[in-house]
Chains A and B, each alone.
Chain A
Amino acid sequence: MVRLTDAEKAMRDGADGPAVAKAMDLLIRYAEALGAEDFVETNNVAGVPGSSPQWVKDYYKEDGGDYRAVFSRFDLDSDEVVDVPRMNAFSCHLQGGMDPEMWREQGMSEEAFANFRSDEAEVASHGIQVLKTCTPYLAGNVPVMGEHCAWMESSAVVFCNSVIGGRTNCEGRESTSAAMLAKRIPNWGFHTDDFRKGQHAIDVEVPVDSIFEWGMLGYFTGAAVEDAIPVLDGAISDAALIKHKHFGAAAASSGGVEMYHMVGITPEASSREIAFGGADKGERFTYGAKERAAVYERLNSIGESRDVDYVMLGCPHYSIDQIADAARMLEGRKVHENAELWIFTSRAVKATAMASGYDRILREAGAKLMTDTCSAISQAVPPGTKVAAFDSAKQTHYLPAMMGIEGWFGTTQDCIDVACTGKWEGRLN
């Protein structure tokens, strides 16, 4: 049985209104399902509160078919509809379903756009920050070491735990929406010290320095340890935010890694012993030249035709330095007439890209800088896409399978080049 404080009992019993009571009821059921003994307080929640496609609203037609109905019945899993007040925790909306301006290019209907606008107005009026990104830590929500968070989005969760030392499980839609109201999340998993220790070792023998190499090592890591916590040690260098972003997203998609340690690099791994919480445990994997080549081959096993008609960058959402690099690579060139280049980021980062002149360079070259979503989330690719190219192992993992297209994985330079020539020339050097 989960232990409740007096404040939590009061919330459950309705002292803070019916919506908070429903949120607390759901969180108690969730804590019991996990076998958690109590809750932690959180004031940092990121999810997708209340946003839904029209068919979900139609399902709750008898309950009003609106945001309030969906938030009550779906997000809070409540049998009755309740008034939904302003959220109590610092709350952020993660990625959404379409670009707020280029939705037509993404193939969205007028009706879907109207639904999107309506949901967004509700999100804002409930005191939720409209970050609309899978990278909240690049758009105004950076936790601190040890902070208890309740985040969705596997790539953000692994970044929060591993790079920042914040504490979050991989939460879902319903638990994050409830936590926005109740400011509680079950004290289980990554909220506890012991759970955060390394479980397997990965010895890195080939130099891993560029973002491309970090991404490949991430994809290898997830496949090796699945959802366990790896301790990586060896020839890893030139750490930077964007490299962790790509490493974590790749490891989370090939295996489900929610936290990793890099000895001497990440904050809870000042030594190998500290990372493991004692002596080495688990299995020991080696990442050498052979393994590196195999990862590259695996990521490129779904490409046959070298005639690329779509290049997608920005998974996870591009940072301002990645946009600056892409703009430099594209300056003075043109996207090929048979190809499209879409780059995805958050609205906050796009505002900086516009102020810095990168958006203009990209537009003049024929590329589009989009926000809020990505091709996998929105299931939107340019009409007639057959072969795509990516610089992200995560997007390579998901998009071709979801859309039934071919895909290539390479460096950002490979991707910019193919966007301009239409011919894939990527290879492993």
Chain B
Amino acid sequence: MATAELKAPDIVIRGRKVVGGVTEGEALVTSQTISGWGGVNPLKGEVIESHHELKGVSFANKILVFPGAKGSSGWSGVFHMTKLTGCAPLGMLFTITTTKAALGAVVLRVPTMTDFDRDPVEAIATGDWVRIDADKGEVQIWKGGRA
């Protein structure tokens, strides 16, 4: 990849590593917390909770940007299953640390960060291109994608 020719990111935010690694992809953003068990269909990586703004939308192979986890203690188990079905997110950015979200990220083994200097739910919009370097604690954002 000819990285030298890429334009610089529009926004860079910093945070704490939850799970290390580097990944990049298209963002899927919600301002609402997400339920695992009863809120996500692990066979499709799709949000199924009634009244959720992402209802019917799949986070498979996206960078999932959300405030945090809610609901049943089955959260990690359901997100873990999305890894088995090939519908896991590429990476995750969340603002509220809970045992559910932390354990879910650990078993998904995707680069994940939290505790940011700027709220990623505000800074990032669905469709933006996002690169996570969790080991460096850095998120690069290209608004409107990186075509």
Tell me if A376 counts as interface (CB < 8 A to partner B): yes
Tell me if A335 counts as interface (CB < 8 A to partner B): no
Interface residues as binary, B83-126 with A (CB distance below 8 Å gives 1, 0 otherwise): 01000000000000111101111110100100100000000000
Distance A77 CA – B19 CA, assembled complex (angstroms): 14
B112 closest partner in A (C-beta) = A33
Tell me if B56 counts as interface (CB < 8 A to partner A): no
Interface residues on A, range: 20 to 34
What residues of B have a CB within 8 angstroms of the CB of A376 in the complex? 38
Please provide the chain A residues from 201 to 243 with a CB less than 8 Å away from any CB of chain B in the complex: 226-227
B99 closest partner in A (C-beta) = A169
Distance A173 CA – B77 CA, assembled complex (angstroms): 6
Contact B77 A172 (CB under 8 A): yes
Q: Is the interface of A mostly helix, strand, loop or mixed?
A: helix
Q: Which of A33, A59, A255 contacts B102 (CB 8 A)?
A: A33
**Smallest distance from the beta carbon of B54 to chain A beta carbons, Å?**
15
What residues of A have a CB within 8 angstroms of the CB of B102 in the complex? 30, 33-34
Tell me if B135 counts as interface (CB < 8 A to partner A): no
Interface residues as binary, B69-91 with A (CB distance below 8 Å gives 1, 0 otherwise): 01111111100110010000000
> Beyond A35-B97, A77-B106, is A172–B49 a contact (Cβ under 8 Å)?
no
**Smallest distance from the beta carbon of B9 to chain A beta carbons, Å?**
25
Tell me if A344 counts as interface (CB < 8 A to partner B): no
> Beyond A33-B19, A56-B81, is A175–B72 a contact (Cβ under 8 Å)?
no
Interface residues as binary, A48-63 with B (CB distance below 8 Å gives 1, 0 otherwise): 1000000010010000
Tell me if B3 counts as interface (CB < 8 A to partner A): no
Q: Which of A48, A56, A157 contacts B84 (CB 8 A)?
A: A56
**Smallest distance from the beta carbon of A24 to chain B beta carbons, Å?**
13
A256 closest partner in B (C-beta) = B70
Q: Which of A29, A227, A255, A398 contacts B98 (CB 8 A)?
A: A227
Contact B38 A175 (CB under 8 A): no
Q: Is the interface of B mostly helix, strand, loop or mixed?
A: mixed
Contact B100 A172 (CB under 8 A): yes
Please provide the chain B residues from 56 to 75 with a CB less than 8 Å away from any CB of chain A in the complex: 70-75
Interface residues as binary, B2-18 with A (CB distance below 8 Å gives 1, 0 otherwise): 00000000000000101
Contact B76 A59 (CB under 8 A): no
Tell me if A300 counts as interface (CB < 8 A to partner B): no
Q: Which of B70, B73, B105 contacts A157 (CB 8 A)?
A: B73
Contact A172 B71 (CB under 8 A): no
Distance A188 CA – B24 CA, assembled complex (angstroms): 30
**Smallest distance from the beta carbon of A114 to chain B beta carbons, Å?**
22
Distance A175 CA – B106 CA, assembled complex (angstroms): 10
Please provide the chain B residues from 38 to 53 with a CB less than 8 Å away from any CB of chain A in the complex: 38, 49-50
Distance A56 CA – B72 CA, assembled complex (angstroms): 20
**Smallest distance from the beta carbon of A167 to chain B beta carbons, Å?**
13
What residues of A have a CB within 8 angstroms of the CB of B16 in the complex? 35
Contact B70 A33 (CB under 8 A): no
**Smallest distance from the beta carbon of A324 to chain B beta carbons, Å?**
29
Contact A173 B74 (CB under 8 A): yes
Contact A174 B100 (CB under 8 A): no
Distance A226 CA – B19 CA, assembled complex (angstroms): 26
Tell me if A131 counts as interface (CB < 8 A to partner B): no
Contact B99 A189 (CB under 8 A): yes
**Smallest distance from the beta carbon of A38 to chain B beta carbons, Å?**
16
**Smallest distance from the beta carbon of B51 to chain A beta carbons, Å?**
9
A170 closest partner in B (C-beta) = B73
Contact A174 B103 (CB under 8 A): yes
Contact A172 B38 (CB under 8 A): no
What residues of A have a CB within 8 angstroms of the CB of B84 in the complex? 56, 59
Contact A154 B76 (CB under 8 A): no
> Beyond A74-B80, A77-B107, A172-B77, is A34–B72 a contact (Cβ under 8 Å)?
no
A156 closest partner in B (C-beta) = B73
**Smallest distance from the beta carbon of A135 to chain B beta carbons, Å?**
14
> Beyond A33-B19, A401-B49, is A171–B99 a contact (Cβ under 8 Å)?
yes
A31 closest partner in B (C-beta) = B102
What residues of A have a CB within 8 angstroms of the CB of B19 in the complex? 29, 33
Tell me if A402 counts as interface (CB < 8 A to partner B): yes
Interface residues as binary, A382-407 with B (CB distance below 8 Å gives 1, 0 otherwise): 00000000000000001001100000
Contact B71 A256 (CB under 8 A): yes
Tell me if A153 counts as interface (CB < 8 A to partner B): yes
Interface residues as binary, A152-174 with B (CB distance below 8 Å gives 1, 0 otherwise): 11100100000000000111111
What residues of B have a CB within 8 angstroms of the CB of A74 in the complex? 80
Contact A26 B106 (CB under 8 A): yes
Distance A157 CA – B73 CA, assembled complex (angstroms): 9
A60 closest partner in B (C-beta) = B84
Given contacts A152-B74, A170-B99, 15 further A-B contacts (CB under 8 A): A33-B112, A35-B16, A48-B77, A56-B81, A77-B80, A152-B73, A170-B98, A170-B100, A171-B103, A175-B76, A255-B70, A376-B38, A398-B38, A401-B38, A402-B38
15 contacts between A and B (CB under 8 A): A26-B107, A29-B19, A33-B102, A33-B105, A34-B99, A35-B16, A77-B106, A154-B71, A170-B98, A171-B73, A172-B74, A172-B104, A173-B74, A188-B99, A401-B49
